[in-house]
Amino acid sequence: MGWRCVGLVLDLALKGRMFPGRVGAERSQSAGCSPWAGVPVINVGSGRRSRMNDPIPDVLAPAKLGPVTLRNRIVKAATYEGLSKKSLVTDELIEFHVRHAAGGVGMTTVAYCAVAPDGRTHRKQLLWTDEALPGMRELTDAVHAEGAAVAAQIGHARPVANPKGNGAPALAPGRRFHATSMSFTKAATRADLERVVQGHARAGRMAIEAGFDAVEIHLGHNYLASAFLSPKLNHRKDEYGGPLANRAWLSRDIARAVRDAVGDRIAITAKLNMDDGVPGGFWLDEAVQVARWLEADGSLDALELTAGSSLVNPMYLFKGDAPIHEFAAVMPQPIRLGVKLVGRRFLREYPYEDLYLLKDARQIHAAVTMPLILLGYVDGYGFLYFGGRSGDWIRVDSENISALLTQNVVRRHPKVVDAVAFGVPDPRSGDQVMAAIEIPEGVEFEDLGLPAFLAVEDDLGTKGAPRFVRVSHALPATGSGKLRKKEMQLEGWRTGDPVYRWAGRGAPEYALMTGAEKAALRAEFAAAGRQRFLP
């Protein structure tokens, strides 16, 4: 279930009524949407607020972002590529961004270009040095040759930085334990913060020299500037701590320094958290005020809205399945063992919902006039959505059913070792819910009493119960132990494993599907003209 998005779309031109209620009254969860009709889409331009009755802007029309003209309003998100070596650009990194440019995005964003050696999350990450400039110029030239603009994300990762790899303690608002390195962070001094501010300014100047069209300042995810915004992480007693105005000084100083350094030669955007996703953290009511201050300062051409904390709650941004096995597999010991044992406390799971950042974004849209940037994706039919991830919703009888919720409910069964849930096509319309479950050797499906178990799970709902259940003592899995959900979804009920189908409106039960019953089901698809949807 990877991200389907090329990334981000600019200035929310909201079609439909604004959410009522006071700013900060609701967290970032939002309902699904239908294609185009009433879908919030985007507009980059003069910063004019789009009226509720305005026509939906053309996503593929050219747009202005500060001094830069984009060929369309689609921007490739700054997601860390992991393709740099020795903090330098590689051919693989160039090819990665050229592919997005050739695919038609208006602008692609080179992720995490650190403003100082101790601001890297990994020692291989890109770093603004004279040695890096030739490779950066080669990258920007290659992207421009495909007709796209290119931005560089600039920032300082502390306290998310890797102190062991960087050879320096992680910098933070105050001293705290750094779980990844098993060490303590260093409380930033005023001199440290001035160095960080000037590092951003220098990065902006070097971005111009390297041929970038824009820079994106990282003020989110509890990286250094975001950590100062957070009342949970920032307990300082000086001018950088306490009230929000003090906690926001570092973010504002950084943005002003970059503007002073680059003028109007390139565009400047910033990534800002709307909600850290942790109790006592930075969230929407404060984010609205910070957005107002950043706009009043005149430092930015657009503001990108995000959520979550790389430090304390990363899954708050991503939603859906928490990849515990994948994270553990790439960690050194003893951290790998720790992730396996207690990873679920850190990598919490949040049910995915379409537009899950939009409700909060609308609150900020109501408070500022500058263009806004929001995570989105385009589905296989060409419809534009926001904050989308494929595979987490199942369309049953015109309703969106959460695959993650069904999966988690089935996993609660004491005799189920593991489970996944996904949608399989219905012979008439939409989908049906299917679950694949792994049970111990010596346990049979009939021993589970699954209908009775599901009947008392109040949070599931009638349409969330699986209509098909694949049963195995060893479901297909990756080398790191994660179930191969996509593979099982493509197989559907055609698998060689036993598949049980819901068979009861009177006496609830699941019945084992025979070969004849599978053939009859295929015939139903043919009769309805939906053979192409057969699993």
106 Cβ contact list (under 8 Å, min separation 6)? 63, 70, 71, 72, 73, 74, 75, 148, 149
Which amino acid is located at 335 in the chain? I
User: What single DSSP character describes residue 493?
Assistant: G
For residue 426, which of 372, 379, 492, 360 has the smallest C-alpha distance?
492
Backbone phi, then psi, for 86, in 5-degree steps? 55, 35
CA dihedral for 58, 62, 65, 66, sign (positive or negative): negative
294 neighbors 301 (Cβ within 8 angstroms)? no
d(CA 107, CA 305): 17
Compute the C-alpha angle 270/272/264, nearest 5°. Answer: 15
284 neighbors 249 (Cβ within 8 angstroms)? no
Total residue count of the chain as it appears in this document: 535
For residue 266, which of 225, 347, 208 has the smallest C-alpha distance?
208
How far apart, in Å, are the Cα atoms of 377 and each of 6, 61, 325? Answer: 6, 17, 26
Helix/strand/coil for 140: helix
65 neighbors 301 (Cβ within 8 angstroms)? yes
215 neighbors 203 (Cβ within 8 angstroms)? yes
- Strand segments (E) across 415-488: 418-425, 431-438, 468-472
Residue 380, number of CB atoms within 10 A of its CB: 7
d(CA 14, CA 22): 18
Largest interatomic CA distance in the chain: 76
143 Cβ contact list (under 8 Å, min separation 6)? 97, 98, 101, 108, 149, 150
For residue 107, which of 152, 137, 138 has the smallest C-alpha distance?
152
Residues linked to residue 531 through DSSP beta bridges, in sequence order: none
Rg (CA), the chain: 25
d(CA 294, CA 313): 25
Would you state the structure tokens that stand for residue 275, as one six-digit string? 């909600």
d(CA 168, CA 164): 7
d(CA 308, CA 275): 6
H helices of 449-491, where? 450-455, 485-491
Helix/strand/coil for 410: helix
* Active-site annotation, residues: 223
